[in-house]
Structure 1
Amino acid sequence: MSPISDPRTSVNEVVLPTQVVAIFADVIKEKGFTDLEVLAGTGLLPQDLRQQNTFIRYDQVLRIVENALALYPEPGLGLVVGQREKVSTWGLLGFAIMSSATLKSALEVTHDYYQSGPALYDMEFHFTPDHCVMQAYTPHPIGSLLPTVIEELFACVYAVFPVLIGKPFKARKIEVAFDKPAYSLQYDRLFRCPIHFNSPSNRMIFDAQYLDCPLVTADSISAQLSRTLCVESLQRQGQVTDLCYSIRRILGRTPGRFPSMDLVAEELKMSTRSLRRYLTEHNTSFQNLADDVRAHLAIDYLSNSNISLDEVAERVGFSEYSNFRKAFKHWTGHPPSHYRN
């Protein structure tokens, strides 16, 4: 029995609001298709996409994106969808973002409550005196959908940030963990900054000067109320983050430099002994979670980039490809070449 968790099980346990997938459906309808075609294979009805407080499963969202890509006759669907988004697209989370005092506080709110929004990815923000790093990573392998999902996020940033801060925004550079697409000129026209393909992570780096920009929609009373509503939304979704999920997030933040159990315990503000006991009580171990994260990262690298197998091995913590191949086959039941397009 391989230690990697079944992605279908974990994906089916996650539910998301429908705002972003509704935009995918709207873009496809403009090309002459119907909601039913976009929703094929999901078990959903058109009204399910546009009812207030409706949640759908992560795997249903992925199927909608997959259907949309198959129907859309032009490249760059994620870029199109992202540019259509507004702060209000993010529902309660958007309300919390809008009412924040500064862009930095809005990003901190996003980090704390992004699961109450319609995101297909986890997000981390790293602040320095010089710049901010926004890193996105998917909690489950999504294969060939990764470019579209990351495009949607980064295009959304370019659509929303100028509205929030009341002035133009441009990133310093963007890094993505997939091949350069044939339509990369669309990236150049939209982002207007260096873009590094086949990178270890999906990151947008921008100047720290933006962080202190006051938001034109700031409202301190609404800010507190919206945060309370985000917490309530998370509780309705059943997604108040448990410890195992937090560990996976920490491990997935820095591909190739996976922290030790001691360091993870320290970040979680608990002793290593308490962490080990918790994991034992939940029928898992730190090693199993680490292997799960490394397997999922490797699958995404293999599916979406043309980097060498040796480099894939290095990015998931192996100095020798032979050891990686052996471990990967143990995790998934297949050799790495099975996932290479």
Structure 2
Amino acid sequence: MSARLPLLNERIYAPYKIEMLVEVLGEQGIPAEECLRGSGLGVDEIHNPDRLTSVRQYLGVCRNAVNLSRDPATPFKVGLRMHLSAYGMYGYALMCSETMRDFFNLGVKYHKLATPTLTIQWREDADAAVWVFPDAFITGPSRELKEFLIEQQFGQHVTHLRDVAGRETVATRACFSFPAPAHAAIYEQYLGCPCYFDQQECELYYPASLLDQRPQLAHRLTSTLLQETCDRLIGQTKTSTGTAGEIYQLLMRTPGQFPTMEEAASVLSMTPRTLRRHLEAEGTTFAQISDDVRCSLATEYLRMTKLSTDDIANLVGFGETSNFRRAFKRWTGKVPSDYR
């Protein structure tokens, strides 16, 4: 049985990761058509930057790689080739970060733009800056696929730190929450640091002193401009993907008429309980989406129209203007008049 093809509103990523994976597999003699089997993608499409793809399509190609490749280093080789320049605005925003601490923060903030296959976080310990990869996958992969994705992610992070802080930048250790695989010996070869298995979480450690360094391409103005672009792109992904995207689009279609969660669930042919569960799985709630939509509409009205604050409050679903002002201050840190 072939995999279910993604919905159109899931296809929001350029195929750069798929292209790189197919390239590495091709070097092993595996035909591109076999790599892409079941993904709904043709060979020519993965070289077209205008052809948008989904996380699910990428996971399908990774699953094919697990089944087709006999080289356990495949995910590391892919990760080590994934330079930040392949990530578009997200990658350039990271490269222009003012400090490495900003790099870590922005990496997490804008990770949604990077065809994400797993969750990333980071923390600052007394002596280390630590990337953390909790077991929170978008899908429930097999053990082999899970390890493949983590190995590739670690390779990508090693590459990205070198892109930003210099080739001499190395991790101090890598920890993995699964038993040592048969090919455990190659981990240190590709990651360049001691590797430990059967740990509590998957983590990649760097010296804490790294955080105050300036990236090689640090530039305040360029960083600010690129972050603004990434903010807009993040907003677009919210309105485009999954059940949350359906709710965003439903609320945006009828400004001033905000359906309740029960009414929205009915439009989507599901119960409120099912809708709540779907949104929780995507890391959001109906109330959060409603606030996001109201904030987006309010800021747009303030920037682009001469409508009064009373009129805007009514258009975004507030019966009392005072309630709107308080909500707007909570959303943006400013009152409507200051924002305008």
Question: TM-score if structure 2 supplies the norm length?
Answer: 0.65
What is the DSSP-based 3-state SS (H/G/I as helix, E as strand, rest coil) of the residue aligned with 1:41?
coil
Q: Which sections of structure 1, spanning at least 5 residues, go unmatched? A: 1-7, 246-276, 294-341
State how far apart, in whole Å, the 2-side matches of 1:84 and 1:71 are. 20
State how far apart, in whole Å, the 1-side matches of 2:108 and 2:47 are. 26
Task: Map 1:22-37 to 2 at 5 A.
Answer: 22-37=19-34
- What percentage of aligned pairs have identical amino acids? 19
C-alpha spacing 1:205/1:281, structure 2 compared with 1 (3 Å):
farther
Which amino acid is 1:225 matched to? L
C-alpha spacing 1:153/1:11, structure 2 compared with 1 (3 Å):
farther
C-alpha spacing 1:103/1:166, structure 2 compared with 1 (3 Å):
same
C-alpha spacing 1:210/1:58, structure 2 compared with 1 (3 Å):
same
What is the DSSP-based 3-state SS (H/G/I as helix, E as strand, rest coil) of the residue aligned with 2:121?
strand
C-alpha spacing 1:125/1:42, structure 2 compared with 1 (3 Å):
same
Alignment partner, residue 103 of structure 1: 100
C-alpha spacing 1:47/1:238, structure 2 compared with 1 (3 Å):
farther
State how far apart, in whole Å, the 2-side matches of 1:165 and 1:104 are. 11
The Cα shift of 1:21 comes to: 1.7
Deviations 1:267-289 (A, max 9, x none): xxxxxxxxxx9799872499968
C-alpha spacing 1:160/1:75, structure 2 compared with 1 (3 Å):
same
CA RMSD, Structure 1 to Structure 2 (Å)? 3.4
Whether 2:56 is the aligned partner of 1:59: answer: yes
Question: TM-score if structure 1 supplies the norm length?
Answer: 0.65
Which amino acid is 2:104 matched to? L
What is the DSSP-based 3-state SS (H/G/I as helix, E as strand, rest coil) of the residue aligned with 2:205?
strand
C-alpha spacing 1:188/1:242, structure 2 compared with 1 (3 Å):
same
State how far apart, in whole Å, the 1-side matches of 2:147 and 2:226 are. 31
Structure with more relative contact order (C-alpha pairs < 8 Å, separation 6 or more): 1
C-alpha spacing 1:292/1:11, structure 2 compared with 1 (3 Å):
farther
Does structure 1 retain, via aligned residues, the 8 Å contact 2:54–2:115? no
Does structure 2 retain, via aligned residues, the 8 Å contact 1:27–1:81? yes
What is the DSSP-based 3-state SS (H/G/I as helix, E as strand, rest coil) of the residue aligned with 2:171?
coil
The Cα shift of 1:179 comes to: 2.5
The Cα shift of 1:165 comes to: 1.1
State how far apart, in whole Å, the 1-side matches of 2:5 and 2:34 are. 25
State how far apart, in whole Å, the 1-side matches of 2:89 and 2:199 are. 33
State how far apart, in whole Å, the 2-side matches of 1:61 and 1:242 are. 16
Alignment partner, residue 199 of structure 2: 199
The Cα shift of 1:140 comes to: 2.5
Alignment partner, residue 114 of structure 2: 117
Task: Map 1:92-241 to 2 at 5 A.
Answer: 92-136=89-133, 137-143=136-142, 144-238=144-238
Task: Map 1:16-27 to 2 at 5 A.
Answer: 16-27=13-24
The one of 60, 63, 67 equivalent to 1:70 is 67
The Cα shift of 1:10 comes to: 10
State how far apart, in whole Å, the 1-side matches of 2:90 and 2:14 are. 11
C-alpha spacing 1:125/1:177, structure 2 compared with 1 (3 Å):
same
Does structure 1 retain, via aligned residues, the 8 Å contact 2:6–2:54? no
State how far apart, in whole Å, the 2-side matches of 1:205 and 1:241 are. 32
What is the DSSP-based 3-state SS (H/G/I as helix, E as strand, rest coil) of the residue aligned with 2:110?
helix
Task: Select the structure of larger CA radius of gyration.
Answer: 2
Does structure 1 retain, via aligned residues, the 8 Å contact 2:5–2:39? no
Does structure 1 retain, via aligned residues, the 8 Å contact 2:62–2:145? yes
State how far apart, in whole Å, the 2-side matches of 1:226 and 1:32 are. 39
